[in-house]
Structure 1
């Protein structure tokens, strides 16, 4: 029931964001929102397909590649429990999409829940029919931070 409510909330949030976007921007925004849920669910099978083999991930505690990120998610050493997305901006250039999400992330790290404000930058590239994530960077920000559209 809880997962259903979270999925419904994400759907409603992403629906309001999609109204002012192009179809490509809508597609990438939807994928970004789904990614947050897959991370919360520790669904490494879906994430493995989304993350490009050369993808890089930058966190507060370090940076690493795809295999390490998937291992961290699967093991729960960082459990991305909930990402409250407050704002999203998307820019498309050719077959590349850049997504900025301002979020409040609740994560289970080193034995405790931690709540942190981030602007997360995601870089996607269209490969055939699918988008692949090439980069994900967490930037710690104040809760008053705004993404310029």
Structure 2
């Protein structure tokens, strides 16, 4: 009997863990993290299906379209070398996810490495079973900036 109760408890824990792992918040957090790596790797093949064709990208020097952002990444005119994520907040509203990441970004811009503190706002919308990025906005902040949750 003890063995059966132990097995039952183990199964319940595993089911709970599996359910928690597949929550929309975990799914979008994983996607956001992967996106930073794909940007660092200049992996246009993975970024293209993620970025909605009508997405907008707001940077310190301008706002542009998906096509321009992909071109910038591919050519390396901005090379997102490393995003050191300090804090993350995620809110899901219906089929829309908003991610706020406080990061230290190391990037190569026009041939020079720069390190900048940002809060990055990412907006995703779920289309069927796939998340699409609608917006990515970099806001320059102090390194003491905190995301209120």
* TM-score, length of structure 1 as denominator length: 0.85
Q: Distance in 1 between matches of 2:116 and 2:90?
A: 22
Q: How far off is 1:111 after superposition?
A: 1.1
Q: Deviations over 1:60-79 (max 9, x none)?
A: 00000000000000000000
**3-state DSSP of counterpart to 1:30:** helix
Query: For residue 135 of structure 2, what is the aligned residue in structure 1?
Result: 135
Q: CA RMSD in A?
A: 1.3
Task: State the partner residue of 2:30.
Answer: 30
The separation in 2 between residues aligned to 1:83 and 1:99, in whole angstroms, is 15
Could you tell me which runs of 5 or more consecutive residues in structure 2 were left unpaired when the two chains were aligned.
Answer: 1-19
Give the C-alpha shift of residue 22 in structure 1.
7.6
Aligned-partner SS, 1:92? strand
- What does 1:1-149 align with in structure 2 at a 5 Å threshold? 23-149=23-149
Cα distance change, pair 143–21 in 1 and its aligned pair in 2 (3 A): farther
SS in 1 for 2:92: strand
Unaligned runs of 5+ in 1: 1-19
Please report how far the alpha carbon of residue 35 of structure 1 lies from its aligned counterpart in structure 2 after TM superposition. 0.1
Structure-2 residue corresponding to 1:8: none
The number of equivalent residue pairs is 130
| Large movers: runs of 4+ above 4 Å | none
Equivalent position SS for 2:145: coil
Which residue is equivalent to 2:5?
A: none
1:110 CA displacement:
1.4
